[in-house]
Amino acid sequence: MDFHALLRLVHITAFAAWFGTIFASFFLLKTLEPGMTGEEKQARDYRGLLMRFIKLETKVADVAVISVIVSGLFLAHFYQGWTPWVFTKITLLILQIALTMGYIVKVIQRITYPCDALTYRSWYRLFSISFTMFGIVLAVTFFFR
């Protein structure tokens, strides 16, 4: 297997892993919603589960994001060249990370459990940001080149 194919494999697999962690988080939070918006004891138990999951999910997502960035930079440097499309994708990636992390710090970290359903919907707005940005990156990558 040549280096180009290996880099592409790492890049695509890492992007899929990153995307998968977001979907896993979405499904877990959807499942935990009744408990997180219900009784105090159940919300405390579910909060512990959520925090443990987030800690593990963050490790996987961090490795995936770093792998996407490093493999993408290598692909651009050695094979694609530094074209406007490469800079567009870099900008979109930075924007996605900034929007996601900004929303987490500004809104998600301030949620206390149990909370009302309206407050819990903040999680879904976070996923709206993430899924929209993933969709834009994929559209740019596959349809606007």
pLDDT digits (tens, 9 = 90+) for 110-129: 999 999 999 999 999 999 99
d(C-alpha 73, C-alpha 38), whole Å = 46
- What pTM was estimated for this model as a whole? 0.87
- The residues, ordered by sequence, that sit 6+ positions from 14 with a Cβ below 8 Å of its Cβ are 63, 64, 65, 67, 68, 71
The model's pLDDT over 23-72, given as tens digits with 9 standing for 90+, comes to 999 999 999 999 999 899 999 999 999 999 999 999 999 999 999 999 99
Do residues 113 and 36 make contact, with C-beta atoms less than 8 angstroms apart? Answer: yes
Amino acid, single-letter form, for residue 40: E
Q: Where are the beta strands (DSSP E) in 7-113?
A: none
Q: Within a 10 A sphere around the Cβ of 36, how many other Cβ atoms?
A: 24
Number of domains in the chain: 1
d(C-alpha 60, C-alpha 14), whole Å = 10
pLDDT at 145 > cutoff 80: no
The model's pLDDT over 66-113, given as tens digits with 9 standing for 90+, comes to 999 999 999 999 999 999 989 999 999 999 999 999 999 999 999 999
pLDDT band, very low/low/confident/very high, at 10 (cuts 50, 70, 90): very high
Q: Which domain holds residue 9?
A: 3-142
